[in-house]
Amino acid sequence: MTKTTLSRRGVLKSGAVAGAGLALPTIFTASSAAAFTNEPTGGTVTLGFNVPQSGPYADEGADELRAFELAVEHLNGEGGGGMMNTFSSKALKGNGIMGKKVQYVTGDTQTKSDAARASAKSMIEKDGAIMISGGSSSGVAVAVQGLCQEAGVIFMAGLTHSNDTTGKDKKANGFRHFFNAYMSAAALAPVLEKLYGTDRQAYHLTADYTWGWTQQESIQAATEAMGWKTVNNVLTPLAQTDFSSYIAPVINSGADVLVLNHYGGNMVNSLTNAVQFGLREKQVNGKNFEIVVPLYSELMAKGAGQNIKGIVGSQNWDWKLEDDGTKAFVKAFGEKYGFPPSQAAQTCYAQTLLYADAVERAGSFNPCAVGEALAGYEFDGLGNGPTLYRADDHQCFKDVLVVRGAENPQDEFHLVEIVEVTPVEQVTYDPEHPMFAGGNLGECNPGA
Amino acid sequence: MDAIILQILNGLDKGSAYALIALGLTLIFGTLGVVNFAHGALFMIGAFCAVTLSKLFNLSFETLDPTKKDFLGNPLKVKTPYVQEWFGPDVGAWLIDWSVPLAILFSIPIMVAIGFVMERGLIKHFYKRPHADQILVTFGLAIVLQEIIKSNFGANPVPTPAPEVFRGSFDFGVLLGFDPNVIIYPYWRMVYFAFAAVIIGGVFAFLQFTTFGMVVRAGMADRATVGLLGINIDKRFTIMFGLAAAVAGLAGVMYAPINSPNYHMGMDFLVLSFVVVVVGGMGSLPGAVAAGFLLGILESFASMNEVKSVIPGIDQIIIYLVAIVILLARPRGLMGRKGVMED
Amino acid sequence: MLGLNRKDTAILLVVAALAIFAPIILNLFPARSELAFFNAGYPDLMQRFVIFGIFAIGFNILFGLTGYLSFGHAAFLGVGSYAAVWMFKLLNYNVVPAILLSIVVAGLFSVVIGWISLRRSGIYFSILTLAFAEMSYRLAYSVLTPLTNGETGLQVYTDDPQVLMQAGGHIVPHLFGLEMRAREVIDVGPWQFVFPVGYYLCAILMLVSFYISIRIFRSPFGLMLRAIKSNQTRMTYTGLNPKPYTLAAFVISGMYAGLAGGLLASMDPLAGAERMQWTASGEVVIMTILGGAGTLIGPILGAGTIKYLENVFSKMNEGLLHKWFAFLPDWVESPVIWVVSKFTGEGWHLMLGGLFMLVIIALPGGLVEGGQRIMRLFGRKPKAETRTSTEPAE
């Protein structure tokens, strides 16, 4: 990138042309050649929050945005400070990031790779964002992560659960706090064994796109390892709304467990349909028929209503955890917005804090320095217990929750209850695990 | 065999939703000559009529329960619906439980009113405009309507369960001599099918056996001549628009328990219902109904494992594939009339 | 000039001037001012303006002239993008083979789809094209993932063959070494103007496309296409077979779409399946009608308006609104923000829907008619616009 400064004469001329009503320039450009993309020069630093605002995940996006706003508030020293008080690192002082006041811009990913990239580009090219965060699907996360790598800014992934984000498609400039499909399966398998035994016939319905496949592959491997058999795996179109024709064949398939590898609207509908067909009351092979939803979210639980009662799944985090970080976050969030945060909100809040903290510790906004500070970093107090940002693939390793739909929720916020907190050792895997192989972090790119 | 019977049931059920939406679309198209891209939105609004009624019944006052804590550690606010306070707990609970069927009554005047306002306020000015303009303006309206719903109800689906008695499933196989628990089908889906059959029958009977219907049918065939006979066809067309809106709305109300309604469900059905209408043949009511059931059944069969293992991904495209084949084999769909929307 | 009459030359020159000075025109507000939010002069959006301009110009050749309303044009844009990214994967990052192949592939694809779909007319044609495009989208998202990389979108990996790639070669799209993302930033006092290489490549191709489209509009071939729109039956009676003409128009507009797709991939080497969804096809229909179908400049205006709304209004969050309306007393501010926020940020779709309705109701000829009315208001003759009369329904 080159910068050209015009002569004073030229400036005055074009200034005059550009319009009389606007104030004439008093200072001619002072910016020097930047060391990296969007180096913050003034008293502020701009972060880009790219969340779905239209389309089926708009509510999730709205919750992410709330968390981002809260994090910015806390970083700038407003509000109570939230998880900054419980965070193991004390580098953040509530005076912005490195003394620069934090500003943010928002955009709409529309849950489409193209739109998400367009929106992220405008944040980088126009608003000078130094970090991009947010998102609610893996396709978007991978696409935006790739963009950030090219542009030379840091990407702090929001909700993305596919193995690929930190596997096949991992990038040096991208970091994921959220857990992934492999971890979901590894956390679920022991609980499923305890609840439903080792002799089970599983029938999978899988959303027919990349995330669905990695989720199904992971859970099939984990359940087969403990003795379950896989009767069938049926791929369902993403655009499907009525799943009756996929549910009906389950009835006489001899399966006694139905695994729904669906997310969002797909999951709400397939679960609702499965319950309509009486699968919950069914007896097969002398056992109660069970339904498993590997990836849960509060919003999906709300959408599925009474149908989620007793159905087991996994979560990255839940507001009902008892640690100090969670309590501080729930208090700050709840007092500001009047309801508890979702796991998407927690991940986005934590990612923002982690980024800010890494900048403080690195002493620079340079993405390479920040990346170095984040890679291999161990921390605690952000709600998930002791956590490691693994250097090999920029994936966070922490405990995973196994949850179940509550039978008698006391209010709309208690729709799921925590069954077990699976310790981190159980969900850790080798960076070269076949489900994650084939990727390459590459070199960090500072752009410019 | 049992698998095939189950998929036929599924197909009839899906088909009844397609047929109901396509019926309304064809009514508007056939009578007014307007391509209404907001028809899916009317279906969606119908479903949200059910949501609204159930929210109304669930309007609650709060009492503090100091023995329990809410998420911030304050005393829990226990919500009691007003209807339970006013009518006693039993009647109140019954009202809440039956909110979807009751929403049928609630939705009819609303949908008819929306239809009237739409026709008089907007569509009327587009009778003489090109179809492309009609499409764009109604598409704009659809976006506006769905954004209004989104800003009031959120983007997340809202669970709207059927009454308790309809929640289970019915052992259909026993009637046909199968073993118990082989062919079971949800009650509510069977209710939906029956409901659709009644509505479709009602609309046909109305057009066939009433003077009003006769005039409308005449208007569909030749609007100018009917106008020349001194009949105020415009007024009847407004009523037809209200009727079509009500049909779409009712289809939506009854659909709410099958899949939790969300604000973009109308768009999801929009393209599909157009395909149904065109496959049936533009302007043909029996065609639209037949195509709805045909596509519903074919879609169900295409999602069977046996079929999918032969042609992977067939369930993704079956509707469109069938549409192409039918349109190539029969230029005007199943029962289309010559010269309707061919230029 | 260039075989155009004076009116058309004037239009071409105006468009050329707009395209060349877009980086200045679109960055009207000083970079650090509050109003800079409304600036659109950053590379990505400028590129989108002209790329979707090309898409809409091409669509207008089919729809504006023949009246055939294709609801599946996004499929051609999508295959164009995939073709281009595949070129990056197989050869190297040079955009020339990528763009050429994207035009060719889209052209071939449109020959097949056009040949089948054009057997029917009216809404039957629309549904046929829609069906083909939706099938392409759904298969690309699922079964064809090895070819399209499904949900994530097709992208270049370091272990791709890239047979023409030399050691130390460019790792971003480039034109014989000139990187697409390179840009010249010129600071003029508080203003900042960005002149991106990629944009100018797109702009040049857009001007070429626009020129070709003018020539088509004014050619005997164009006249033939209009004849198809006004009365196909009569045309058949005079012994002319309309099919080759419509098919040619269909393929030409398909190639325009392919060019747009190839350029999209060249500016940003990732091709998502959503590019082929019916909503994307609908978008180009909307751009064309919003701008003014059948006019030369309308589609470009429509494309610009929609992309501007999508990229600028969706970023207006409540924090910004609070900043802007802070001067109002509280009791005025809250309701004002409440109303405005319904149309911006997460509510930007409401703005979009409202705008469609408003333009279509008030300006039947689209934005171009709006411009003409303003011109008339100032007592000048409307500038060289040749709107073909719209046909009433049926």
Task: Read off the pLDDT of residues A384-423 as tens digits, 9 standing for 90 and up.
Answer: 999 999 999 999 999 999 999 999 888 888 999 999 999 9
Q: How far apart are CA A368 and CA A446, in angstroms?
A: 6
Higher model confidence: residue C248 or residue A79?
C248
Higher model confidence: residue C161 or residue B112?
B112
Give the whole-number percent of chain A exceeding pLDDT 90: 73
pLDDT tens column, A132-178: 999 888 999 999 999 999 999 999 999 999 999 999 999 999 999 99
What per-residue confidence (pLDDT) applies to C217? 92
C267: which 2 tokens?
């500016």
List the CATH number of the domain containing B9: 1.10.3470
| H helices present in A363-417, as ranges | 367-374
| pLDDT at residue B103 is higher than 90 | yes
Residues 6+ apart with CB under 8 A from C366: C289, C290, C291, C292, C293, C295, C298, C301, C302, C359
What per-residue confidence (pLDDT) applies to C326? 85
Q: How far apart are CA B284 and CA B280, in angstroms?
A: 7
Chain C CB contacts of A53 under 8 Å are 314, 345-346, 348
- DSSP for B112-125? HHHHHHHHHHTGGG
Question: Is the separation of the CB atoms in A35 and A152 below 8 Å?
Answer: no
Q: Burial letters for A348-369: b for 16+ Cβ neighbours within 10 Å, e otherwise?
A: bbbbbbbbbbbbbbbebbbbbb
What per-residue confidence (pLDDT) applies to A33? 54
Chain A CB contacts of B77 under 8 Å are 411
What per-residue confidence (pLDDT) applies to A4? 43
- DSSP for C49-116? HHHHHHHHHHHHHHHHHH----S-THHHHHHHHHHHHHHHHHS-SBHHHHHHHHHHHHHHHHHHHHHH
pLDDT band at A1 (very low <50, low <70, confident <90, very high): very low
Q: How far apart are CA C151 and CA A116, in angstroms?
A: 13
Question: Is the separation of the CB atoms in A312 and A301 below 8 Å?
Answer: no
Q: Which helix (H) or strand (E) holds A420?
A: strand A416-422
- DSSP for C168-180? T--SS-EETTEET
**What rounded mean pLDDT belongs to chain B?**
89
Distance to chain C for A80, nearest Cα, Å: 19
What per-residue confidence (pLDDT) applies to A34? 66
Mean pLDDT within B282-302: 92
What per-residue confidence (pLDDT) applies to B101? 93
pLDDT band at B291 (very low <50, low <70, confident <90, very high): very high
Q: Which helix (H) or strand (E) holds C237?
A: helix C232-237
Residue A97 is classified by DSSP as B
Query: Is the CB of C143 less than 8 angstroms away from the CB of B142?
Result: no
Q: For residue C281, which of C103, C58, C15, C5 has the smallest C-alpha distance?
A: C58
Please give the tally of structural domains in chain B: 1
Query: Is the CB of A268 less than 8 angstroms away from the CB of B315?
Result: no
pTM: 0.91
pLDDT band at C122 (very low <50, low <70, confident <90, very high): confident
Q: What are phi and psi of C192, to 5 degrees?
A: -135, 125
- Which residue out of B55, B79, B303 would a mutagenesis test of the A interface target, given it has the greatest number of A Cβ atoms within 10 Å? B303
| pLDDT at residue B66 is higher than 90 | no
- The SS3 call for residue C263 is helix
Q: How far apart are CA A393 and CA A180, in angstroms?
A: 12
| pLDDT at residue C229 is higher than 90 | no
pLDDT tens column, C321-358: 888 888 888 888 888 888 888 888 888 899 989 998 99
pLDDT band at B339 (very low <50, low <70, confident <90, very high): low
Residue C151 is classified by DSSP as T
| Greatest Cα pair distance in chain A | 90
- The SS3 call for residue B259 is coil
Which amino acid appears at position C350 of this protein? L
Residues 6+ apart with CB under 8 A from B75: B64, B65, B66, B68, B69
**What rounded mean pLDDT belongs to chain C?**
89
Chain A CB contacts of B196 under 8 Å are none
What per-residue confidence (pLDDT) applies to B144? 94
For residue B104, what are the domain limits? Answer: 2-56+98-329
Which amino acid appears at position C260 of this protein? A
| pLDDT at residue A273 is higher than 90 | yes
Give the whole-number percent of chain B exceeding pLDDT 70: 99
Higher model confidence: residue B232 or residue A340?
A340
Residues 6+ apart with CB under 8 A from B2: A252, B173, B178, B182, B183
pLDDT band at C208 (very low <50, low <70, confident <90, very high): very high
What per-residue confidence (pLDDT) applies to A25? 34
Q: How far apart are CA C8 and CA A124, in angstroms?
A: 38
pLDDT band at B279 (very low <50, low <70, confident <90, very high): very high
| pLDDT at residue A5 is higher than 60 | no
Residue A46 is classified by DSSP as E
Q: Which helix (H) or strand (E) holds B324?
A: helix B314-329
What per-residue confidence (pLDDT) applies to C356? 87
What per-residue confidence (pLDDT) applies to A239? 85
Residue in C closest to A206 by C-alpha: C142
Domain definitions of chain C by residue range: 6-278
Q: Residue with structure tokens 């296409």?
A: C225
What per-residue confidence (pLDDT) applies to B124? 87
pLDDT band at C381 (very low <50, low <70, confident <90, very high): low
Query: Is the CB of A108 less than 8 angstroms away from the CB of C346?
Result: yes
What per-residue confidence (pLDDT) applies to C1? 65
pLDDT band at C84 (very low <50, low <70, confident <90, very high): very high
**Most confident listed range (A169-183, B276-290, B325-339, C314-328):** A169-183
Q: For residue B193, which of B64, B13, B324, B5 has the smallest C-alpha distance?
A: B13
Query: Is the CB of A169 less than 8 angstroms away from the CB of C188?
Result: no
What per-residue confidence (pLDDT) applies to A23? 33
Query: Is the CB of B150 less than 8 angstroms away from the CB of A235?
Result: no
Least confident of A323-332, B172-181, B326-335, C66-75: B172-181
Higher model confidence: residue A222 or residue C169?
A222
Taking the alpha carbons at both ends of chain A, their separation in whole angstroms is 6
Q: What are phi and psi of A221, to 5 degrees?
A: -60, -45
Number of continuous H segments (helices) and E segments (strands) in chain A: 13, 18
- At the top level of CATH, the class of A44-179+319-393 is alpha beta
Residue in C closest to B152 by C-alpha: C342
- At the top level of CATH, the class of A182-315 is alpha beta
Q: Is the fold of A44-179+319-393 the same as that of A182-315?
A: yes
Chain A CB contacts of B71 under 8 Å are 319-320, 330, 334, 339-340, 413
Residue in A closest to B4 by C-alpha: A249
Q: How far is CA C100 from the centre of its chain?
A: 18
Q: How far apart are CA A387 and CA A177, in angstroms?
A: 9
Burial class (CB in 10 A: 0-12, 13-18, 19+), C107: buried
Q: For residue A117, which of A164, A149, A165 has the smallest C-alpha distance?
A: A149
| Domain contains B75 | no
Q: How far apart are CA C135 and CA A94, in angstroms?
A: 53
Question: Is the separation of the CB atoms in B44 and B146 below 8 Å?
Answer: yes
Least confident of A39-53, B181-195, B228-242: B228-242
Mean pLDDT within C224-246: 86
pLDDT band at A8 (very low <50, low <70, confident <90, very high): very low
Residue in A closest to B184 by C-alpha: A277
ipTM value, please give it. Answer: 0.91
| pLDDT at residue A26 is higher than 50 | no
Mean pLDDT within C40-59: 94
